[in-house]
Structure 1
Amino acid sequence: MEISWLGHSCFQLRGKNVTLVTDPFSPQQGSSQGETSQLGKISASIVTVSHNHAGHNNVVAVSGNPHVVKGPGEYEISDVLITGVASYHDDKKGQEYGRNTIYVIHIDDLVICHLGDLGHILQEEQLEEVADADILLVPIGGEHTINATQAAEIISQVEPRVVIPMHYHADGAEIPAPLGKFCREMGVENITAQPRLVVTRSNVPAETQVVVLSPRIA
């Protein structure tokens, strides 16, 4: 499994037989986040959309005639099992920003959980669904999502093997402020971004490890 961060909440998960893209963003969203201003040419078999906001639902940017997964439920596509878990975009049960879908993705003997624009700590019923996650893709920015402190709390709830932060403003600093705060919360001293993560069932770390990815330049 090869995991690349395309910016914002958008990842490309390239498995042995299937490529999946999460939350493709619009050019305007990419620009406002200080990340790549466009997705560039990407193709996938499956696209997941955590909520219907412009920074997350630009499905037309993904070629390959992908299956589009939107909302809670169970899906089986090309031997990939996906569970959409209902949650909220804020800590007021959606009154401010609406609903959000967490996706638990079973692919290549790994379980990857994409939290989308989660705005609250996991409740018991949500935690039951995501508890087996090997890899957790977690927002840390605090703008319309959980912040770095809340992200660290959720990581302690889930206890994944790998954590990849997302949805934070790349403010031009070598280490953006939200990322620095998150790494301090997690006790990470040396922050070195890498272009992608290649992981298999056999080399998943035994203890929780934070992996910082640099957004792909289109």
Structure 2
Amino acid sequence: MAEAPGAAPAGADGTLLPAAFAPALLAQGAVPVGSVEITFLDHASFLIRSPGGATAITDYNGIERAPAAPDIVTMNNAHSTHYTDTVEPGVKYVLRGWDPGGGVPVHDLFQLDMHVRNVPTNLRDVGGTRIAGNSIFVFEVAGLCIAHLGHLHHLLEPMHLDELGPIDVLMVPADGTYALSQELMARVVDQIRPAVVIPMHYFSQERLARFLGFIADDYPPEWLDGPTIVLSRALLSPRRSVVSPER
């Protein structure tokens, strides 16, 4: 198993697609050229597939897995549902959103036609603020930039926005309690201004509905039939919310 700079070895440790705790059936077949496929797995975990066959799972916790081990897993450690110390065989790269040594995590990984990088943010816990304790992971596939906010606990500063660059697809923790409040998370969406927003980590349909209410003017809702969405540059406009049915 290879190791990228800043990566831990495996075995160590606008569109809206809401995600709750539920397993998903993954789409089969190749991803069309110029597109990216995103499938909800559980909680804050999504499988991202590229046309060239690269695969990544966000906030990998080892509970719900894809049919085959992904090339890349990303993790954040605010809670045990966002990471695991036991990674399945076959994973090539484990990218932690924190530095176990207490420094600033840095990831800049190329795997086939997928580029994964991180933007560190701070994390609050019972001990106070953990500087660079969370990472926003950015996945660049088929000319699209997908950002997963992880367990974001504060509004973004200009330096964060500069490091992120233009974002097409944004995965947002929408619970309003364990992460940032729903009102402030809606402001983060406005700071980033993606075309596609994917709420996750919201625990109930009531919390989801409340979050959607904060952003409905910019992202009017539309319903998906299942957990998988295929996106391309041509499918990003107009901004809208695409909501997956509860499973």
| TM norm. shorter chain > 0.5 | yes
d(CA) in 2 for partners of 1:98 and 1:128?
16
Give the alignment partner of residue 223 of structure 2, picking from 158, 182, 192: 192
Q: What is the RMSD of the two structures over their aligned residues, measured on CA atoms? A: 2.8
TM-score (norm 1): 0.79
Q: Which moved more, 1:94-103 or 1:142-151?
A: 94-103
SS at match of 2:190: helix
Alpha-carbon distance, 1:53 to partner: 3.6
Give ranges in structure 2 of 5+ residues lacking alignment: 1-35, 98-104
Could you tell me whether the CA contact under 8 Å between 1:42 and 1:63 is conserved in 2? no
Q: How does 1:158-173 map to 2 (within 5 A)?
A: 158-170=192-204
Q: How far 1:52 moved relative to its partner?
A: 6.3
The answer for the alignment partner of 1:8 in structure 2 is: 43
Match in the other structure for 2:148: 114
User: Are 1:20 and 2:20 counterparts?
Assistant: no
How far apart, in 1, do the equivalents of 2:48 and 2:148 lie?
11
Q: 1:114 to 1:62 in 2, by over 3 A?
A: farther
Matches within 5 A, 1:200-215: 200-205=232-237, 207-213=238-244
Count of aligned pairs: 200
Letter in 2 for 1:154: V
Task: Specify the alignment match of 1:141 in structure 2.
Answer: 175
Cα contact 1:163–1:208 (8 A) shared by 2: no
Contact kept in structure 2, 1:15 and 1:107, CA below 8 Å? yes
> Aligned equivalents of 1:157 and 1:26: distance in 2?
32
* 2:70 equivalent to 1:54: no
Q: Give the letter for the 1:168 counterpart.
A: Y
Give 1:75 shift: 2.2
The AA in structure 2 aligned to 1:208 is R
> Which of 24, 45, 66 matches 2:92?
66
Q: Distance in 1 between matches of 2:81 and 2:131?
A: 13
Report deviation, 1:92. 10
Distance 1:110-1:139 versus aligned 2 partners, 3 A rule: same
TM-score, normalized by length of structure 2? Answer: 0.71
Distance 1:40 1:12, change over 3 A: closer
Give 1 or 2 for the bigger CA radius of gyration: 2
Between the aligned partners of 1:162 and 1:95, the Cα distance in structure 2 is 30
- SS across alignment from 2:140: strand
CA distance in structure 2 between the partners assigned to 1:91 and 1:61 by the alignment? 25
Say whether residues 1:45 and 2:91 are aligned partners: no
Distance 2:187 2:127 in 1: 19
Partner amino acid for 1:146?
L
Structure 1 residue 50, shift from structure 2 partner = 2.6
Read off the aligned partner of 1:69 and give its amino acid letter. Answer: L
CA distance in 1, matches of 2:129, 2:155: 16
Contact 1:10 1:22 in 2 (8 A): yes
Deviation at 1:182, TM superposition (A): 1.1
Matching of residues 120-131 of structure 1 within 5 Å: 120-131=154-165
Question: Secondary structure, in 3 states, of the residue corresponding to 1:43?
Answer: coil
In the TM superposition, 1:167-186 aligns within 5 A as 167-170=201-204, 176-186=205-215
Percent identical among aligned pairs is: 28
In 1: Cα distance, 2:94 partner to 2:57 partner: 10
Partner of residue 104, structure 1: 138
Task: Quickly say closer, same or farther: Cα 1:93–1:146, change in 2 above 3 A.
Answer: farther
| TM superposition shift of 1:191 | 5.7
Alpha carbons 1:117, 1:139 under 8 Å: kept = yes
Q: Which has the higher contact order (CA 8 A, sep 6+)?
A: 2
